[in-house]
A and B are shown apart, each in its own frame.
Chain A
Amino acid sequence: MTDRIETKFIHSTGVDPLTGAVNVPIYLSSTFHQKSLDSFGPFDYSRSGNPTRLALEETIANLEGGKRGFAFSSGMAAISSAFMLLSSGDHVLVSEDVYGGTYRFITEVLDKFNIEYTFVNMTDLNEMANAIQPNTKVVYLETPSNPTMNITDIEIAAKLAKANGCLTFVDNTFMTPLYQNPLALGADIVLHSATKFLSGHSDVVAGLAVTKDEELGNRLGFIQNTFGSVLGAQDSYLLIQGIKTLGARLGQSSESARTIAEYLHNHPLIEEVYYPGFSFHPGNPIHKRQAKSAGAVLSFRLKDKKSARVFVEHLRIPVFAVSLGAVESILSYPATMSHGSMPVEEREKRGITDGLLRYSVGLEHPDDLVQDLTQALAQVARRNGLSIAN
């Protein structure tokens, strides 16, 4: 009998064999005593392996259906470590609306090591196929993308990559293994900013990676140990505990997100709502096929920066901050926050205009969130009215 993922979330770390403790102990020890010269135990130094971190790494590998899991000190540490599998002269193909931090890493750090890159619109498979070069080694994508929620067909992208001898890396932060399993769709490495839904409480910065096979796992394990961007034991524990409520949290948040998306769609001041759960969203058929839910993040466009400013000033419940995927609703302004590191022309080309806001829906009562939106949008209408009168 195979347990469903909601059950795995709760029980995947098992019980401590030594004491019966239901929760994994936090092993802060940086090093481990060895009994003899000839036979070392399973752990020698915490950078190379730590029992608490291992419990987390096995958990995420199990949840994503992969062979090996790795925990890193941030989402960017996970992403950068995966890219460090490459060497000078290699080329990567990247979906054009990746997270701003990933964009910065590729254009300014990978570039410095003479690793080439091309950004392409991965919703267009022809464009993607045409951009593959003889030295392309990795196809990197996020779906839904951040913040404009474009959908890439993981299965087809992975097939295309494989046919050209490339690996496929998928950032699965927005969906989590609850809703989307990129490895089952053909990806080779799944990446997470575990700071987001997996931990869920805005209290851990962490990254996770899962490889589909053992060989790639060994290579990424070498990078993790050699570069040393590992996750600490306390943070590993917080993440294990966070994952236990992922099913409950993300389920509730996603339901509220649908309510909010529909509300915003019907509001006259909102020019556009980016939400892959709408049947008219161009990526909806693909998304429905490869993911179980539209998730808890959506973006929407107000007319201009001034409207956005008034809206942000009056919205009462969500915190106005970077990040997403937490118990509290978080409103972000991608133009200066998540995508602040992207040049303005690149940003606008990707639809990240001055009126765009991203809403990560939390666990507050959905009626309260909608009421809050109503009053803030009323203020925007009033200010716009006043400015017209002036």
Chain B
Amino acid sequence: MTKHSLETLLVQLGNRSDAATGAVNPPIYLSTAYEHQGLGQSTGYDYTRTKNPTRSVLEEGFAELEGADAAFACSSGMAAIQLILSLFRPGDEILVPEDIYGGTYRLLDHFASAYNIHPKYAEFKDVQDTEQKITLNTRALFIETPTNPLMQEIDLIAYAALAKKHNLLLIVDNTFLTPFFQQPIELGADIVIHSATKYIGGHNDVLAGLVAAKGESICERLSFFHNSVGAVLSPFDSWLLVRGLKTLPLRMRQHEANAKAIAEFLSQQAEISDVLYPGKGGMLSFRLQEEEWVGPFLENIKLITFAESLGGVESFITYPATQTHADIPFEERTKRGVCNRLLRFSVGVELAEDLIADLTQAFSKLKKEVVEYD
């Protein structure tokens, strides 16, 4: 059979999976329990926490998208990260880039104090420098690329080689680029995680996490913890993700085209000191010239929503200092570049001209207000 392109695979995800009715779109199985024909007999489904037909459509499809052997759908992106962390034991260390999502930072911090499983932070700019931080206790590299919110790209091929050399697991958070732009397992990663709340769901209407992994032993262990700890995704939310995946390529192309246009626009504005955009995907960050402009700017944007989260069809601007990265102490945060002038922009799929017009009017009010203050 010919291997279909990603676009075709996604559009057809779960279709015709229901032989009984021929339904094109997969049904939502809310049933928690499944009848057994007799003692010791099972259809493969026993209890929805362990396995659910709707969740299976998502998990099997997603494993294929990421080139993984198995995937696991979790109740949030953080639940997906928690699932990964259950692979480690007290005394283990995990090497993590300094520029990491605040929720992950908070969870790692909790694992350090409660279970003696420690994150060690490195810049991840130079591979040799990073290698210096590897100790006998290091078990994994846990990477986000591009990083959040500073949008630095980390060379996955180089770090896959480093992980292999030291017999470490390479775990990649692929939330920002999705398998449409980046397939970490193909580049040598062992595990890929997603906050599927973002681009995978794509409509800001589902909270979900996904883990995809390569290798029989890892998949078995993840499957055990997924079922034992129980932070699984509901059938309804699984179905929403399947639905979201069908338009992922269309959305990602538009997100990227708009992000490029806006990065270009922002780089020409006097109010902006710098624009951080890696040249792909729909996420960018920028710094205003003055910290006191942040408040008025956020109050004046009309079309773009000031909210936490990202990756939805609608544009969001987030203030990492008090939202996504509020759990990182001020000094630590500023040292990492998440200063009080930094804003993160999840560029939606509205018409780019309308987004630029909204930014323009917010900037113009900013100038007026600043003039009035003078």
Contact = CB atoms under 8 A, between A and B. Distances in A.
A326 B48 CA distance: 15
Q: Is the interface of A mostly helix, strand, loop or mixed?
A: loop
A28 to B, nearest CB: 4
Contacts of A104: 228
A321 B33 contact: yes
B236 A234 contact: yes
Contacts of B308: 31-32, 44-45
Given A33-B307, A88-B114, A229-B82, A309 B38 contact: yes
A87 B79 contact: no
Contact of A77 (B34, B48, B75): B75
Contacts, number: 203
Interface of B: 30-40, 46-49, 74-82, 86, 89-90, 103, 106-107, 110, 113-116, 197, 201, 204-207, 209, 224-225, 228-234, 236-237, 294-295, 298-299, 305-309, 312, 316, 319, 322-323
A168 to B, nearest CB: 21
Interface residues of A, number: 68
Contacts of B204: 29-31
Contact of B230 (A74, A309, A336): A74
B366 to A, nearest CB: 13
Contacts of B40: 336
Contacts of B76: 47, 228-230
Contacts of B46: 321-322, 337
B288 to A, nearest CB: 12
B231 A77 contact: yes
B107 A232 contact: no
Given A47-B78, A195-B32, A312-B38, A227 B115 contact: no
A226 interface: yes
B230 A322 contact: no
A99 B19 CA distance: 36
A44 to B, nearest CB: 5
B114 A47 contact: no
Contacts of A70: none
A228 B78 contact: yes
Lowest 9 CB-CB distances: which A-B pairs, in order? A228-B78, A76-B230, A228-B76, A229-B231, A73-B75, A74-B230, A31-B309, A28-B205, A203-B30
B86 A109 contact: yes
A36 B294 CA distance: 10
Contacts of B229: 76-77, 80, 105, 109, 229
A75 interface: yes
B234 A232 contact: yes
22 contacts: A33-B306, A37-B295, A47-B76, A73-B234, A74-B230, A76-B49, A77-B231, A86-B114, A87-B115, A204-B32, A227-B78, A228-B77, A228-B82, A229-B231, A231-B75, A232-B75, A232-B236, A234-B236, A321-B34, A321-B35, A330-B33, A336-B40
Given A33-B305, A36-B298, A227 B231 contact: yes
A313 B40 CA distance: 12
Contacts of A36: 295, 298-299
Contacts of B86: 109, 112
A73 B232 CA distance: 6
Contacts of B115: 87-88, 113-114
B206 A30 contact: yes
A73 B230 contact: yes
B99 to A, nearest CB: 20
A310 to B, nearest CB: 10
Contacts of A108: 224, 228
Interface in A77-92: 77, 79-80, 84, 86-88
A46 B208 CA distance: 11
B294 A37 contact: yes
A320 interface: yes
A173 to B, nearest CB: 13
B307 A226 contact: no
Contacts of A30: 197, 201, 204-207, 309, 312
Contacts of B35: 319-321
B116 A114 contact: yes
Contacts of A47: 76, 78, 207
Contacts of A38: 295
Contact of A319 (B33, B81, B309, B312): B33
A316 to B, nearest CB: 12
Nearest to A319: B35
B82 A227 contact: yes
A305 interface: yes
Nearest to B110: A226
Contacts of A37: 294-295, 298-299, 306, 319, 322
A191 to B, nearest CB: 12
Contacts of A326: 33
Contacts of A171: none
Contacts of B236: 232, 234-235
A202 interface: yes
B75 A228 contact: yes
A235 B234 contact: yes
B44 to A, nearest CB: 13
Given A28-B206, A31-B308, A321 B298 contact: no
A18 to B, nearest CB: 19
A232 B323 contact: no
A71 to B, nearest CB: 10
A320 B205 contact: no
Contacts of B33: 202, 319, 321-323, 326, 330
A34 interface: yes
Contacts of B224: 108
A197 interface: no
B307 A32 contact: yes
A207 interface: yes
